[in-house]
C-alpha cells in the first residue's frame, strides 16, 4: 500500500494528451498514480520501473470495467484521493447534420461514463471525508461554437452535474473542480475528434468553416499540456481547489466575455423576469 502521506491519483484517458502529461507529472512527484486507457498497453510504459504506477484497461462506458478499475486501484493503493475525469472525445456537426449514433456514443463517453466513474469513486472519498474530483470540460462548457453544439452540450451537462455534486459533497470534505481548457497542443483534433459525414451547404460558412479550421489547427494551438497539468496539480496541492479552472488565454478571454454578455442580458430583462411572479 502507498504511503498515506502522498495523494493517490486516478486519471482516465491517459493514452495521450492531458491525461498522459498529467500522469507523468504525478509520477515524477512520487505520487501513486492509476493510469487508464481503453487499451492499457498504451500507458504501460508510464508504469514501468515504478511501484507507484498502475496501468489499467478502462472503457468508461463499460460498467464492469469501471467497477473493476476502481477496485484494482483501491486494492493496490488503499484509496483514491484525486479523480481526474479526462476520458472523452469530440464530435463536430451542425445541429441539423448530427448523426444519432455519433451523438449518443459521445454522450456515453463524455457524460454517462464520467457519471459512472464518479459514482464508483465517491464511496471511498465520502468514508474518508476528503478528496478532489477534477472534471475536464472545455471552454465549450460555457460557449456553444458553431459546429460543436453536441460537444458543447456534453460539456454543459458535466458543468451542471458538477454544480450539484459540489453542493452535495462540500460538507464531506470533497472538492469538485471543472477544468476548462481552450485549444491546447495535443493530438485531440487528429485523434479524438470526429466530424459528421453529412454536409449541408447552407451551413458551410458557419459550422463548416469552424470544422475546417479545427482540423487544420492541430499542432499550432497555444496551450501547453504540461503547464496545464502543473496548474491542476497546483490547485490540488493548495488545498482549496476552486469550482472552476479555465486554462489558456483564449479560453479565459472567451469564457469571461461570454459570462459578462450573459449576465448583462439577464440583468437588462430584470423587470420582465420579475413580472412572471404572482403580484405581491
Any catalytic annotation for residue 217?
no
Phi, psi of 60 (to 5 degrees): -65, -10
* Main-chain phi, psi angles of 12, to 5 degrees: -90, 155
The grid coordinates of residue 150 equal: 453536441
Cβ(80)–Cβ(131) below 8 Å: yes
Active-site residue (options: 151, 203, 217, 252): 151
Report which secondary-structure segment, H or E, holds 69: helix 63-77
**Quick check: 117 and 125 in contact, CB under 8 A?**
no
Q: Roughly how many angstroms between the first and final C-alpha of the chain, as a whole number?
A: 62
Q: Closest by alpha carbon to 14, among 67, 52, 56, 49?
A: 56
CA distances from 207 to 15, 188, 190, 192, 212 (A): 29, 18, 18, 18, 9
Residues recognised as catalytic: 151
Amino acid at each position: 500500500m502507498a504511503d498515506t502521506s502522498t495523494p493517490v491519483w486516478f486519471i482516465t484517458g491517459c493514452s495521450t494528451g492531458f491525461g498522459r502529461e498529467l500522469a507523468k507529472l504525478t509520477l515524477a512527484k512520487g505520487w501513486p498514480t492509476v493510469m487508464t486507457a481503453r487499451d492499457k498497453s498504451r500507458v504501460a510504459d508510464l508504469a514501468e520501473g515504478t511501484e507507484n504506477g498502475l496501468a489499467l484497461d478502462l472503457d468508461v462506458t463499460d460498467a464492469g470495467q469501471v467497477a473493476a478499475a476502481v477496485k484494482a486501484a483501491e486494492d493496490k493503493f488503499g484509496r483514491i484521493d484525486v479523480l481526474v475525469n479526462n476520458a472523452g472525445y469530440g464530435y463536430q456537426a451542425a445541429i441539423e447534420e448530427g448523426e444519432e449514433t455519433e451523438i449518443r456514443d459521445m454522450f456515453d463517453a463524455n457524460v454517462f461514463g464520467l457519471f459512472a466513474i464518479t459514482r464508483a469513486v465517491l464511496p471511498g472519498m465520502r468514508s474518508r471525508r476528503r478528496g478532489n474530483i477534477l472534471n475536464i470540460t472545455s471552454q465549450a462548457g460555457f460557449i456553444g461554437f458553431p459546429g460543436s453544439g453536441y460537444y458543447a452540450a456534453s460539456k454543459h451537462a458535466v458543468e451542471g452535474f458538477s454544480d450539484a455534486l459540489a453542493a452535495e459533497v462540500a460538507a464531506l470534505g470533497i472538492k469538485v473542480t471543472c477544468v476548462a481548457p481552450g485549444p491546447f497542443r495535443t493530438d485531440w483534433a487528429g485523434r479524438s475528434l470526429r466530424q459528421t459525414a453529412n454536409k449541408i451547404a447552407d451551413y458551410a460558412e458557419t459550422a463548416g468553416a469552424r470544422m475546417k479550421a479545427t482540423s487544420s489547427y492541430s499542432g499550432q494551438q497555444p496551450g501547453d499540456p504540461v503547464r496545464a497539468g502543473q496548474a491542476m496539480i497546483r490547485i490540488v496541492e493548495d488545498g482549496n481547489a476552486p469550482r472552476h479552472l479555465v486554462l489558456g488565454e483564449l479560453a479565459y478571454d472567451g469564457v469571461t466575455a461570454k459570462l459578462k454578455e450573459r449576465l448583462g442580458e439577464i440583468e437588462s430583462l430584470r423587470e420582465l423576469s420579475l413580472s412572471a411572479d404572482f403580484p405581491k
